[in-house]
Amino acid sequence: MLYPQTFIDDLRRQADIVRVIQDYVALKRKGANWMACCPFHKEKTPSFSVNPAKEIFYCFGCHKGGSVFNFVMEIETVPFPEAVKIVAEKTGVQLPKLVDDSRYESRRQEADDVIQLNTWALEWWEQQLDSGGGDSRAAREYIAGREITDETRKIFRLGYAPDSWEALSLHLRQKGATQAQIESSGLVVKKEEGGSYDRFRGRLIFPVFNVQGRPIAFGGRTLKESEPAKYINSPETTVYVKGRNLFGLHLTRDEIRKQGFAILVEGFLDLMIPYQFGIRNVVASLGTALTLDQVKLLTRFARKIVVNYDGDRAGVQAAKRAIEILLTEDLDVKVLVLPDRADPDEFIRQFGATEYQRRRGEAQTHIQFVIDQAVADRNLHRPAEKAAAVEDVLPYVRAVRSRLQKREYFDMAMDALRVTDVSLRRELWQTVKTGSSLRGEAGEKVMRRNVAKPTIAEQRLLELLLSDDERARSILSMLVTEDYEDLPTVGIFRALVEINREGLKIDFDNLSRKTEGDAISSELIARLLMNESWSWDSKETHAANQRLPPEECVFTFRRMTLDNQIEAVRSELASAERSGNDEEVGRLSIKQTQLTARRQSLLSRNEAAASSY
């Protein structure tokens, strides 16, 4: 116990819970109670009630309630001892000495010292930027180049650290700080031989505040192109632990509560520019991978999150990691992907807040985003690539807590990934439902069920290629990669093309060496070289194969490729329509029309060629 229980009990009785809560919420009397719209969730009809006689509050909407201390802990995001201190200050009651906790007092004093030094440093850095001296010109030019207004700069308290090894240290000593305090603050780097030098030199300073608005750390951006480290950050101290804070939350938490959701971005400017344009329900994960502590902090203010990380490959991967963490806390997660891989900062400066908000309103569900990423650059007609896509998506289905929603997302994923085998879907659902997460298990199931049987055209063409080297070389010269890359026997065709290019003999040894590790190809090569019909073919089918001329097989190849592409686009189009992505629907519709026209052109050319014989 940090304060005597008798003091806490007396403070609870002395504190006017209505007056304390009125500092945060506009209360109106209704009979014996006071009512307001709840500060902890978005609502239009007041359901937040305060009963001064019973000294409690309660929300009939989100079901949060308790004493005046509980309210302050929730609204200020502070631990109990800090809530007691805040209530005492608001009530005008002097705090007693802490009970039997000298270690806590020591840590608290060190934390207070770090906050004080950070405050002095920040005020000094702000003065350096405001002074207009030549040394800070590059910082002011950078700010102007990023279109940050003076008002925004002052709200976020940007500063400039002069390019000096000890200018800040000298200033802190003049303010009365000891060398030990300076070193424990993280504002300097200790030398091995003793002494220290300023950590931030010649950099634009972005201060990081805790939820109460106290400076706890800093990020410094270089202003020199030659500097290897674009950003450097404060080390961990008694007041700052990496991965426990969110940049800008002290400014945006009220708007997040009001809107009922938060937009999660990565960097300093990704938050500052939206804020400048009037979008105030934003937080940034400080450029690091989102942590569970940050998510738990965020859940105090919202249960719905829109992830809007950068659109490049690194940003997409960071967004996927963030989704997994967010889902562990049962949050409603959507993902906003801006066009041309833009980040929020550059998009809003170019297109404005209205267009950004329109696109934010069309943000994808987390599962649709994950599916889109899983199928990008993959061909679902290839068993291995389909298996890899399933492996990528299922963890994000498995992480959903609600069984009903989990089943809905599972069915969405299976439809989008074209897993149509009923028994396979049943097996995969079992792995999701039971929480099985063995890497590769789901993929192996998909691989086993998706080993497609070669078509008559493939079989006949391969038999021709393997039975006559001279004929093979003329046929291979007719083929292009697009003719066979979507077929089950793609490995054998690739091997034959390489063997032909290298001038090698088409035989078992060369084919085996070129297809090593390809289970499908290994199984078929021996049968093909023996010129035997494949086990699943009837004698009639094999006889039909023998009657197909090479030109017809090549034509069939090309028709199949287009058919597969048209089917793939049709599936993607249905998925885009379900997610309401109008831009993607338009793009895929055009692609589908183009492929259909190519198929018709191929059919027409083949008919013309046939009629000329």
**Residue 531: pLDDT above 60?**
no
pLDDT digits (tens, 9 = 90+) for 175-199: 999 999 999 999 999 998 888 999 9
**Residue 533: pLDDT above 60?**
no
**Residue 201: pLDDT above 60?**
yes
Which amino acid is located at 197 in the chain? Y
In the prediction, which pLDDT does 445 show? 66
pTM above 0.85, yes or no: no
12-19: average pLDDT: 86
Using N-to-C axis directions, what is the helix angle for 469-478 and 490-502, rounded to 10°? 110
pLDDT digits (tens, 9 = 90+) for 457-481: 677 778 778 877 777 787 788 888 8
Query: Phi first, then psi: what are they for 459, rounded to 5°?
Result: -60, -50
**Residue 67: pLDDT above 50?**
yes
Candidates 505, 486, 491, 482; CA nearest to 462 is 491
Residues with Cβ within 8 Å of 413's Cβ and at least 6 positions away in sequence, in order, are 367, 371, 390, 393, 394, 397
Other beta carbons less than 10 A from residue 225's beta carbon: 5
Q: What does the alpha-carbon distance between residue 414 and residue 537 come to, in Å, rounded to a whole number?
A: 30
Q: What does the alpha-carbon distance between residue 284 and residue 263 come to, in Å, rounded to a whole number?
A: 8
pLDDT confidence tier of residue 269, bands split at 50, 70 and 90:
very high
Which amino acid is located at 434 in the chain? T
pLDDT confidence tier of residue 422, bands split at 50, 70 and 90:
confident
CA dihedral 35, 38, 39, 41 (to 10 degrees): 180
299-319: average pLDDT: 89
Question: Which long-range contacts does 105-113 make (Cβ < 8 Å, 24+ apart)?
Answer: 107/238, 110/184, 110/238, 111/238, 111/239, 113/181, 113/184, 113/185
pLDDT digits (tens, 9 = 90+) for 509-522: 888 888 887 766 77
pLDDT confidence tier of residue 537, bands split at 50, 70 and 90:
very low
Looking up tokens 């089917």 gives 567
In the prediction, which pLDDT does 545 show? 47
**Residue 547: pLDDT above 60?**
no
Query: Phi first, then psi: what are they for 418, rounded to 5°?
Result: 60, 45
DSSP assignment string, 503-542: T---SHHHHHHHTTT-HHHHHHHHHHHTTPPPTT--HHHH
End-to-end Cα spacing for the chain = 98
The more confident residue out of 69 and 447 is 69
Query: Phi first, then psi: what are they for 471, rounded to 5°?
Result: -65, -35
Of 97-106, 486-495, 530-539, give the range with the top mean pLDDT.
486-495
397-407: average pLDDT: 88
**Residue 1: pLDDT above 70?**
no
DSSP-derived 3-state class of residue 549: coil
pLDDT confidence tier of residue 448, bands split at 50, 70 and 90:
low
Candidates 506, 607, 501, 505; CA nearest to 559 is 607
Query: Phi first, then psi: what are they for 603, rounded to 5°?
Result: -60, -40
Candidates 225, 229, 269; CA nearest to 247 is 269
Q: What does the alpha-carbon distance between residue 6 and residue 47 come to, in Å, rounded to a whole number?
A: 33
What is the percent of the chain with per-residue pLDDT over 90, rounded to a whole number? 41
In the prediction, which pLDDT does 40 show? 87
Buried b (16+ CB within 10 A) or exposed e, 134-168: eebebbbebbeeeebeeebbeebbbbbbbbeeebb
| C-alpha atoms less than 13 angstroms from C-alpha of 84 in its C-beta half-sphere | 19
**Residue 237: pLDDT above 90?**
yes
In the prediction, which pLDDT does 444 show? 65
**Residue 450: pLDDT above 60?**
no
Mind listing the domains of the chain with CATH numbers? 5-91 (3.90.580.10), 102-233 (3.90.980.10), 249-362 (3.40.1360.10), 371-449 (no CATH), 456-610 (1.10.860)
pLDDT digits (tens, 9 = 90+) for 323-380: 999 998 889 999 999 988 899 999 999 999 999 999 999 999 999 999 999 988 887 7
Distances (CA, A) of 313 to 6, 290, 583: 57, 16, 21
- The gap from C-alpha 411 to its chain's centroid, in whole angstroms, comes to 22
Q: What does the alpha-carbon distance between residue 596 and residue 602 come to, in Å, rounded to a whole number?
A: 10
In 403-471, beta strands by DSSP E: none
The more confident residue out of 23 and 215 is 215
Looking up tokens 């891989």 gives 341
Do 293 and 243 form a contact (C-beta atoms < 8 A)? yes
In the prediction, which pLDDT does 100 show? 56
**Residue 534: pLDDT above 50?**
no
Q: What does the alpha-carbon distance between residue 420 and residue 71 come to, in Å, rounded to a whole number?
A: 52
| Least confident span in 254-258, 447-451, 462-466, 491-495 | 447-451
Computed over every residue of the chain, the mean pLDDT equals: 85
- Tell me the two tokens of residue 594: 């183009």
pLDDT digits (tens, 9 = 90+) for 382-398: 777 888 899 899 999 98
In the prediction, which pLDDT does 254 show? 85
In 292-444, beta strands by DSSP E: 304-307, 332-335, 364-365
Running DSSP on this structure, what letter comes out for residue 163? S
Burial of 85 (0-12, 13-18, 19+ CB in 10 A): middle
Q: What does the alpha-carbon distance between residue 235 and residue 573 come to, in Å, rounded to a whole number?
A: 48
- Tell me the two tokens of residue 561: 């490729």
Running DSSP on this structure, what letter comes out for residue 178? -
- The gap from C-alpha 103 to its chain's centroid, in whole angstroms, comes to 40
Residues with Cβ within 8 Å of 197's Cβ and at least 6 positions away in sequence, in order, are 165, 166, 169, 188, 189, 191
pLDDT digits (tens, 9 = 90+) for 556-589: 767 877 887 788 788 778 877 776 677 778 888 9
**Residue 401: pLDDT above 90?**
no
pLDDT confidence tier of residue 548, bands split at 50, 70 and 90:
low
The more confident residue out of 599 and 335 is 335
The more confident residue out of 609 and 352 is 352
Residues with Cβ within 8 Å of 483's Cβ and at least 6 positions away in sequence, in order, are 554, 557, 558, 561
Burial of 191 (0-12, 13-18, 19+ CB in 10 A): exposed
In the prediction, which pLDDT does 535 show? 44
The more confident residue out of 168 and 453 is 168
